[in-house]
Structure 1
Amino acid sequence: MNTTEQEIEMEQLLRQADAIADDIVTMEMTDVAGAYDRLQERCHQSRRHVVLGRLMRYAAILALPLLLSTMVLAYLHFTSSQADIRFAEVKALDGTVVRFELPDSSVVWLNAGSQLRYPISFDGDKREVALQGEGYFEVKANREHPFYVHTPSGMSVYVYGTHFNVQAYDDSECIETSLEEGRLNVILPNKGQQLTLRPGEYVSYNKLTCQAMKSTTDVEVKTAWRKGELIFRNATLDEVFKALSRRFNVDISYRNHTNRDDRYRATFHDETLPQILDYLSKSTVLTWKYEPYHSSSTANKGQRKVLIDLY
């Protein structure tokens, strides 16, 4: 090999040595340990994201049946609580007065021709009953569960514990509520207006005019029927005969041949129907008679019909 070739080969070796030296310097400047740590951290983070994502998916999968079961149980509880409510009815036939106790130990008297519908157990926030006719209530005190009496006309009363009377016969023009003791709230139909009664007060609601009148009253007179008494104070003959019809289980046909609207004041205890009618006929021109029992015009089977004429 001549001198020129040797110089060329030596020059190539020197350039390779310089390149290797540069690579060594670059490698020495590189933070291999730090890069390794960062790589490890990224791997851990990636692994955590993967695990977390899987856990969230698993949680969602597990929570879905739980959510569905909760919704189903809530629905079943609501519907069953509504469907499971069972009601009872108590009736007082014409000519009778019935006394009984409600599930909360409240006591109710039903006047003749009345009925009360109530749940066999008071499980809700309210104790609610529905009355047709007349009832006297001795409500067991419970501040957490008010006691409601609903009538067909839409008028309701509610108390927390007290004694009161409600008269709501279908054939009566007015609904009356009188309070003996405690405090009573009256909810009027349609308007939602409320009135508060104190002992010795009553409300009369006219179903035709939708007007209510609040006044004082003799509660003993309003509730005398519980003791088998009939007390009339400034009563019309229509009112008297309706009460007699229920008390004695008769169908009274009353014909007024005058334009008078006489008012009557009387108290009856153990008198029979003929005795009462004879008494009334002494103060006015009034005649009465029983229609034959077998007559086809008898309103209800088992009822006698009484024909009364006022002249």
Structure 2
Amino acid sequence: MSYQEYTTADFVNDESFTNYVKATDQQATLFWEKWIHDHPLSLEKVNEATEIIGLLSLGKDPLKEQFYESLKNRIDNTISAQGTDYQPVAIKIFPFFKIAAILTGLVIGAGLLFYMRNKADSITLLTVSAPYGHTKTIVLPDSSTVILNANSSVKYPENWDKKNRQIWLNGEAYFHIKHIGQKNQPAVAFTVHANLTEVSVLGTVFNVNTQADSTLVTLVSGKVGLKHKNQSLILAPGEYATCKKGEIAFRRKAGDIEEFTCWIDGKYIFKNATVTDVCNKLSAYYGKKYLIKDQSIRTREFSGTLELKNEPVLIQTLAALLNTTVKENGKEVYIGI
């Protein structure tokens, strides 16, 4: 059976996945982090399984026998009320370690039954993408707006739930989230899933840039909360945070917020960036390979503004700023030939 076909119960019973949740196996962690990133449609089942494993991993002091009997009866009564064929299990008095094993089995069974019976119908996700060399503006069902950078995409539920607003990002996007809330009622949160980082907001403006192994979040206005593994951060306007796999996230004050968001105006602003960094960013935007032939300029620092809407003009500007030759040949651009 492929992992895409896994149910919540399959994930719970998978030793490798359990080791990933408990962070006891580095190889399992690396594998599942990548698999989850590549299969966002399985995220709901993954989150359900993670919650169950987490509950079962909590250390508890031994409890009285009456508690086990009471819990067992409540589980049996709940399952009976739901009309299942599940047969009640007779409980005998055992040493604590045996009672704990029985309790664990009951909790897993009842927990999985609860998840399966109360799980909503399969969620259909809509996918919107921006092609190479172009941005795209999306108006979400709640009137929030998202601007996608080139070669970026988002997924969100077709049946939008205003009480549980969620979106999955691959690439870079600029979000302007509408505040939804009533007087004396908690505001409805909006969650952006970006790699293994969750960005939670109420109503604000921010930029999220996902890369192969990291996520960069820049806050323009309002407030956002970040969750990265077991770490939480709160950003204030003008701050940014980098969340990288296997590392602790860090928060810094942005010297110039426009440097992070200028792409929505059709340009990139570089400040003391290496030529390699510039080429990587242009390659991702245009879907071409910007290749450095003159190795002596690879680490040279570059500062300047490149307009993105006209690539031939950009190439001429880049050649002038680097004082070198830049030549385009189909899907490749050669620098310093």
TM-score (norm 1): 0.64
Corresponding residue for 2:211?
169
* 1:1-311 correspondence to structure 2 within 5 Å: 67-69=81-83, 79=117, 81-123=119-161, 125-142=163-180, 143-152=186-195, 154-170=196-212, 174-188=214-228, 190=229, 192-207=230-245, 210-217=247-254, 218-255=256-293, 257-258=295-296, 261-269=299-307, 272-284=310-322, 286-291=324-329, 293=330, 304-309=331-336
Q: 1:125 touches 1:144 (CA, 8 Å); kept in 2?
A: no
Deviations 1:157-192 (A, max 9, x none): 11111110000033xx6421110111011112x3x1
In structure 1, the residue corresponding to 2:161 is in which secondary structure?
Answer: coil
Q: 1:244 touches 1:273 (CA, 8 Å); kept in 2?
A: no
**CA 1:68–1:129 in 2, change beyond 3 Å: closer, same or farther?**
closer
Q: 2:274 touches 2:298 (CA, 8 Å); kept in 1?
A: no
In structure 1, the residue corresponding to 2:171 is in which secondary structure?
Answer: strand
Structure 2: gaps spanning 5 or more residues: 1-76, 87-112, 181-185
For residue 145 of structure 1, what is the amino acid of its counterpart? V
In 2, the alpha carbon distance for the partners of 1:161 and 1:240 equals 33
**CA 1:243–1:77 in 2, change beyond 3 Å: closer, same or farther?**
closer
Give the number of equivalent residue pairs: 230
Deviations 1:201-226 (A, max 9, x none): 1112344x624331111222211111
For residue 307 of structure 1, what is the amino acid of its counterpart? Y
Q: 1:114 touches 1:132 (CA, 8 Å); kept in 2?
A: yes
Percent of aligned positions that are identical: 29
In structure 2, the residue corresponding to 1:82 is in which secondary structure?
Answer: coil
> Who wins on radius of gyration, i.e. which is larger?
1
Q: Which contiguous aligned blocks of 4+ residues in structure 1 show a shift greater than 6 angstroms?
A: none
Structure 1: gaps spanning 5 or more residues: 1-62, 294-303
TM-score (norm 2): 0.59
In 1, the alpha carbon distance for the partners of 2:197 and 2:300 equals 30
